[in-house]
Structure 1
Amino acid sequence: MTRTADPDAGDALAAFAGERPRLRALAYRLLGSVADAEDTLQDAWLRWSAVASGSVASPPAFLTTLVTRLALDRMRSARAARERYYGLWLPEPDVTGWPGDAGEGDAEAGETVPMAMLLLLERLGPEQRAVFVLREAMDLDYAEIASVLGKSADACRQVMRRARARLSEPAAAQADLQAGRRIADAFAAASLRRDYAAIVSLLADDAQWLSDGGGLVLTAVNPLHGADRIARFLLGIQRKRATSFGFTAVRVNGAPGFLTRLGDRFQGVWALDIADGRIRRIYQVANPRKLGHIALGHAARGQTALGHPARPGTDAG
């Protein structure tokens, strides 16, 4: 393949920077880890910067292939590690602020993927996940996917059919974002008041609480089921620790969520899955190894926080 103009280093950087948001979204969907996605982009940049000028006809196609193949290598090695993971494994949360809160701007809607979808994608093998993400999220046709993976288009169609069969799970309609935030804020306020009835009223009858502490902090190792049990769990933590939660409203994977504290210590990230006017799932990510990319400065912004300012540290209930 040839290119009509030889880029200098500045052209290479500009080409990569222009594709970076799309490539990050691709890597995060494939890996479910913000840190691994960033590491994959760094590896891709190092390889891209070493490519001989004039040797690439389409930088976007080349970079898509490069990032996908690097992510596939990471996915294959990560599967064995997740089999040894203590407790429930959850994806690393992708946290952004709400527009207008403490100077936050809009996040690119196309770069977000719900936590529920990332968990569903964990059902797929690396190759199935790559085909599904490239087709559904990146909107590549089967000929393009075949080129990325070094397979035939027919083989990629077969992989996609198997992937869709494994992901066949009906999804509830998600709440409007602002309506979802109102429900989330009401839930935080009820938790601060330790109002059992209000908490239960905001949770679906079959709500789930899913926690990931990675064996490094104390969390509910097994999922909690039902509004009553979740409410009692939240009240019990505050009563046992003789302190209250604190909440900073953020978006987690594009949906309402919180940076949370217990007393004056940073606890982790809660992501809320809201549909039909009630909270269906709460994902608590407390494993400190999954929170290093989140600026703790979010938690100290009084304009968006309910409760007391946080000090660094992780202490999950």
Structure 2
Amino acid sequence: MQDAFLHWQAADRRRIRVPEAWLTKVVTNLCLDRLRSAQARRERTAGAWLPEPLLDGDPMLGPADSFEQRESVSLAVLTLMERLSALERGVYVLREAFSYSHAEIAEILDINESASQQHLHRARRRITAVRRPGGEVDPASARGIVEEFLAAAASGRVERLVALLTDDATAISDSNGAGLAERLLRYDTPQRIAAVARAGFRPTPAKRRLAGGTPAVHYALVNGAPAVLFVLDDQVVGAVTFGVTGGKIATVHGIAAPTRLVRLAEAWRRHGPHTPLVSQW
């Protein structure tokens, strides 16, 4: 937005007949340039990438009045959007979020209408792949399922963990941003997810030393989804979000890289602590 403002200041505004259209084109193309650059940097240094988790109520999430709006900012959808090409993402956002026509999108992106329609079709097909039937889950039920998952993982009950997962469940972790680059670890079977959850959630002295103490475990909503936060001295050191459908867990996203948790940690400190699910993990 700052770059767009500088472009606006430097432009001969007497020659700009429709400021909104001019500004939309400038902002969109600046975003695409930034996206292409960021994508290239991630491919060179970090491989796959997870979006930043945001605490419920964060204005960056936008309106969340309906299930569809909350689902649109879920980590599952945002993660998938990172796999879209720059043009697919640009067309999808301009069409779905701002309701521009294909003629307008074609002019903004310097492509033809047919290309705009094709990019939108491909983007919609990929986004639809992560949407699940069943609609909205009751918040109390979702919390109960997450609490049961946490208890089963901490106690090492692998069979119960498997029973809480859908047959096609997936889990993604950022591996704490360990090493020179953040790389995602992906697990695609309930048995593997259960084994990893048992190893990850079960507290040990070694894990407490690595964390720098004994964190508390809190329940929260992150990107509109039920989540658990690991909090040490008012600092969020880890977040795990769950996608719940049909009474079971379909997706698990684990984020512990400090650079991904900055905004969530700040929001948590402002929001104030709640009674933890586990006071000493």
TM-score normalised by the chain length of structure 2: 0.73
Verify: 1:306 aligned to 2:277, yes or no: yes
Verify: 1:288 aligned to 2:258, yes or no: yes
Verify: 1:149 aligned to 2:112, yes or no: no
Write the letter of the residue equivalent to 2:77. M
Q: Is residue 208–residue 281 contact of structure 1 (8 Å, CA) maintained in 2?
A: yes
Query: Closer, same or farther in 2 for the Cα pair 1:267/1:230, shift >3 Å?
Result: farther
Write the letter of the residue equivalent to 1:273. G
Q: What CA distance in whole angstroms lies between the structure 2 residues aligned with 1:69 and 1:139? A: 17
Secondary structure of 1:232's counterpart equals helix
Kindly state the Cα deviation for residue 198 of structure 1 after the two structures are TM-superposed. Answer: 4.3
**Long gaps (5+) in structure 1:** 1-40, 99-103, 311-317
Verify: 1:234 aligned to 2:234, yes or no: no
Q: Is residue 241–residue 254 contact of structure 2 (8 Å, CA) maintained in 1?
A: yes
Question: What is the match of residue 183 of structure 1?
Answer: 145
TM-score normalised by the chain length of structure 1: 0.66
Highest RCO, 1 vs 2 (Cα 8 Å, sep ≥ 6): 2
Question: What is the match of residue 70 of structure 1?
Answer: 30
Q: Compare the two structures and name the one with the higher helix fraction.
A: 2
Indicate the percent of aligned positions where both proteins have the same amino acid.
34
Kindly state the Cα deviation for residue 85 of structure 1 after the two structures are TM-superposed. Answer: 3.8
Kindly state the Cα deviation for residue 305 of structure 1 after the two structures are TM-superposed. Answer: 2.9
Q: Is residue 87–residue 215 contact of structure 1 (8 Å, CA) maintained in 2?
A: no
Task: Name which of structure 1's ranges 131-140 and 264-273 shifts more when overlaid on structure 2.
Answer: 264-273
Secondary structure of 2:263's counterpart equals coil
Superposition map of 1:76-225 within 5 A? 76-86=36-46, 88-97=48-57, 108-109=63-64, 110=69, 112-164=72-124, 169=129, 171-173=131-133, 174-176=135-137, 178=139, 179-191=141-153, 195-212=157-174, 213-216=176-179, 222-225=185-188
Q: What CA distance in whole angstroms lies between the structure 2 residues aligned with 1:54 and 1:222? A: 53
Write the letter of the residue equivalent to 2:277. L
**Long gaps (5+) in structure 2:** 209-213
Task: Name which of structure 1's ranges 170-179 and 62-71 shifts more when overlaid on structure 2.
Answer: 170-179
Write the letter of the residue equivalent to 2:85. G
Q: Is residue 248–residue 298 contact of structure 1 (8 Å, CA) maintained in 2?
A: no
Equivalenced residues, count:
264
Q: What CA distance in whole angstroms lies between the structure 1 residues aligned with 2:183 and 2:122? A: 33
Task: Name which of structure 1's ranges 63-72 and 89-98 shifts more when overlaid on structure 2.
Answer: 89-98
Write the letter of the residue equivalent to 2:24. T
Verify: 1:278 aligned to 2:266, yes or no: no
Secondary structure of 1:223's counterpart equals strand
Q: What CA distance in whole angstroms lies between the structure 2 residues aligned with 1:264 and 1:136? A: 38
Query: Closer, same or farther in 2 for the Cα pair 1:227/1:96, shift >3 Å?
Result: same
Q: What CA distance in whole angstroms lies between the structure 2 residues aligned with 1:50 and 1:181? A: 52
Q: What CA distance in whole angstroms lies between the structure 2 residues aligned with 1:56 and 1:250? A: 47
